[in-house]
C-alpha cells in the first residue's frame, strides 16, 4: 500500500470534505472549536459545515490528511493548543503559546487494524518537529473499550506507544504530552 501524508491546505480541501462526508459523520472536525459541550449538543451537520467553511475562510487549515493509494483514508487535526478555548477550560490548563495539540483522529473504518493511525501520528510528529514545535498534547479517552467515533481523539495505546506521557486526567479523558527534540 502506498501511503502519503499531506498538510491540509486549499489544494486538498475537497479531499477533506469528501473524507469527512464519507466517514466523519456530521462533525467536519469542529467539536473543539465550539465553545462548550452544551453548545456542541445544539449543532448539526449544516452548522458544523458552516463553521468549518468559516475556519477555512480565515486560513485555519488545521491538520493532516493520510492517503492510501491516492485515496484519503485518514485525518488528524493538529494546531496551536490555545486557539481552542474548550480544551483550556475542560482540562484547567494555563495558556502556553508553545504547546500544540493533536485533537482529532479519524481513520476510514474499512482500514482499521492496518496501523494507519500510528503511521499518521508518526508523520504528524515528524512534521511538527521540523517546524520547531517542542511540546505536543493529546486528550485520549481513558476507556479503551470504546470504539469508532468515541475514540475520535485517538486511542490511548497509540499515544503511549509513540512516547506520550500522562500529565493529568479528569473522569473520562487524560492529558498526555510528548517533548519533541530539535
Higher-confidence position of 140 and 102: 102
Residue 83, Cα to own-chain centre: how many angstroms?
Answer: 14
Q: How confident is the model at residue 181 (pLDDT cuts 50, 70, 90)?
A: confident
User: Which residue range is the domain that position 161 belongs to?
Assistant: 3-179
Q: At residue 147, does pLDDT exceed 80?
A: no
Mean pLDDT over each residue of the chain, to the nearest integer: 90
pLDDT of residue 137: 97
Q: How confident is the model at residue 171 (pLDDT cuts 50, 70, 90)?
A: confident
pLDDT of residue 170: 76
pLDDT tens-digit readout, 13-66: 999 999 999 987 789 999 999 999 999 999 999 999 999 999 999 999 999 999
Looking up residue 111, the CATH number of its domain turns out to be 3.40.630.30
Rounded to whole angstroms, the Cα distance separating 116 from 95 reads 32
pTM across the whole model: 0.92
pLDDT of residue 150: 56
SS (H, E, C) 138-180: ECCECCCCCCHHHHCCCCHHHHHHCCCEEEEECCCEEEEEEEC
For the chain, what percent of residues have pLDDT higher than 90? Answer: 74
Q: How confident is the model at residue 143 (pLDDT cuts 50, 70, 90)?
A: low
Residue 138 makes CB contacts below 8 A (sequence gap 6+) with 101, 102, 103, 153, 154, 159, 164, 175, 176, 177
> Hey, what's the cell of 94?
494555563
Question: Domain total for the chain?
Answer: 1
DSSP for residue 43: -
Amino acid at each position: 500500500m502506498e501511503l502519503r501524508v499531506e498538510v491540509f491546505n486549499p489544494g486538498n480541501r475537497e479531499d477533506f470534505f469528501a473524507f469527512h462526508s464519507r466517514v466523519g459523520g456530521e462533525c467536519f472536525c469542529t467539536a473543539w472549536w465550539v465553545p462548550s459541550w452544551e453548545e456542541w449538543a445544539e449543532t448539526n451537520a449544516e452548522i458544523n459545515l458552516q463553521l468549518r467553511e468559516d475556519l477555512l475562510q480565515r486560513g485555519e487549515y488545521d491538520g493532516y490528511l493520510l492517503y492510501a493509494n491516492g485515496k484519503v483514508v485518514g485525518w488528524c487535526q493538529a494546531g496551536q493548543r490555545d486557539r481552542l478555548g474548550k480544551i483550556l477550560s475542560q482540562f484547567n490548563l494555563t495558556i502556553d503559546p508553545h504547546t500544540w495539540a493533536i485533537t482529532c483522529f479519524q481513520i476510514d473504518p474499512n482500514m482499521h487494524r492496518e496501523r494507519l493511525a500510528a503511521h499518521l501520528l508518526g508523520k504528524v510528529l515528524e512534521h511538527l518537529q521540523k517546524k520547531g514545535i517542542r511540546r505536543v498534547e493529546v486528550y485520549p479517552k481513558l476507556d479503551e473499550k470504546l470504539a469508532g467515533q468515541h475514540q475520535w481523539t485517538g486511542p490511548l495505546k497509540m499515544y503511549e506507544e509513540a512516547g506520550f506521557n500522562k500529565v493529568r486526567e479528569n473522569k473520562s479523558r487524560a492529558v498526555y504530552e510528548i517533548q519533541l527534540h530539535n
